[in-house]
Amino acid sequence: MSAESWPASLHLIGSKGLGGAERWADRFAGALAECGAPAAVGVRAGSAVEQLCFGGLPVHRLPFLTVWDPLSRQAVRRLVRTLKPDVVQTYMGRATRLTRLRGRPVHVARLGGYYSLGPYRHADAWIANTRGLRDWMIAGGLPAQRVHHIYNFAQPAEPRPARQIDALRASLDIPDDALVLLTPARLVPVKGHAGLLDAAALLPAEIAGRRWRLVLLGDGPLQQVLARRAQSNGVAERLVWAGWQPAPGAFLQMADLVVFPSRDAETLGNVILEAWAWRRPLVVTRFRGARELVRHGEDAWSVPCDDPPALAEGIKRVLGDAELRAGMSARGSERIARDFAREIIMGQYRDLYARLAGG
């Protein structure tokens, strides 16, 4: 994919903190850089987003103070006049509200959730990361011919030497013989951690003859509430609070099972793609994105949302069946290669940018 085939693009993220949208923007920028695409990034000055590397692309710091701030709007316009991109892509509501372009370049708003469409309607085009979200946006009044669906890609797995994984286990005080259940997700209500802890309380001390530890990979406002729930459920000693990790690959490599217990409002669920990319068996709830992506018993084991007994049974079922785990992991890897590989998704973005810039 040559640089000449990519229109120039500017990517604006007005967030203060780090979450799924910001991690995706970082991965996407890195992929643009690897393609040699002419691109730059604009972030909120003083935000945690500044910590991200964006593949080494030029990063410009903008105020992004409020959703209506006229100084921030002017700063965006100045940056656009300076860089002269063909496409400006905004992420989330703040950057989208503050990007008000007159004519060229094309303004593309990327949505990763079922947000109120009001702040996004002034864009020239929209990208939804699931088919369900695309259909919802069209039903909400956005013109169908300008609403585009492109999935996220999965970051390719980059395995570490075994000694590094052993050192990680030791640093987390996980016994050598213990099964590792991994839940990578921000500690916010939609991710379903409360139900996960209730399910953990229903698990036996050993599964398939082995002790287990549940590694919670992420941070967020619910941490203290969840810690108290774990204490009251009697599972606190089996939990590992690993915090937010900018590079979660080693944790995925360490995992015997990925558990993703989101509630129905979850739009896509990048954890599904990450588990498949690392060939890890997956137990997942049937939230919106999972219903669109997974095939129960083939590439993941799915259970109802907000049903701790069903989640506990699913975990025991998968961990107790080596053949099932191997089959789901293999078919998940095939799904990545066929539908969610970086080259496939980046090709779809390149083609869309070319159409928008040429139109």
Q: Is the pLDDT of residue 292 over 90?
A: yes
Give the range among 17-26, 131-140, 230-239 with minimum mean pLDDT.
Answer: 17-26
- Mapped onto helix, strand or coil, the DSSP state of residue 109 is strand
pLDDT of residue 3: 56
What are 187-197's pLDDT values in tens digits? 999 999 999 99
Query: Following DSSP, what letter does each residue of 211-269 receive, concatenated?
Result: EEEEEEE---TTHHHHHHHHHHHT-GGGEEE----S-THHHHHH-SEEEE---TT----
Per-residue pLDDT, 1: 46
Residue 277 token pair = 């990319």
At residue 315's C-alpha, the angle toward residues 311 and 318, to 5°, is 135
Residue 247 has pLDDT above 90, yes or no: no
Whole-prediction pTM? 0.92
Confidence of residue 9 (pLDDT cuts 50, 70, 90): very high
What superfamily in CATH does domain 162-339 come from?
Answer: Glycogen Phosphorylase B; (3.40.50.2000)
Return residue ranges of the chain for CATH 3.40.50.2000. 3-152+341-358, 162-339
Q: How confident is the model at residue 249 (pLDDT cuts 50, 70, 90)?
A: very high
Under CATH, which architecture does the 3-152+341-358 domain have?
3-Layer(aba) Sandwich (3.40)
Work out the number of other CB atoms within 10 angstroms of the CB of residue 359.
9
Q: What is the 3-state secondary structure (H, E, C) of 180-213?
A: EEEEECCCCHHHCHHHHHHHHHHCCCEECCEEEE
Longest dimension (CA), the chain: 65
pLDDT given at position 102: 81
The total of other beta-carbon atoms located within 10 Å of residue 184's CB is: 23
Q: Is the pLDDT of residue 2 over 90?
A: no
Query: In this structure, which amino acid lies at residue 23?
Result: R
Percent of the chain with pLDDT over 70: 99
pLDDT value for 17: 86
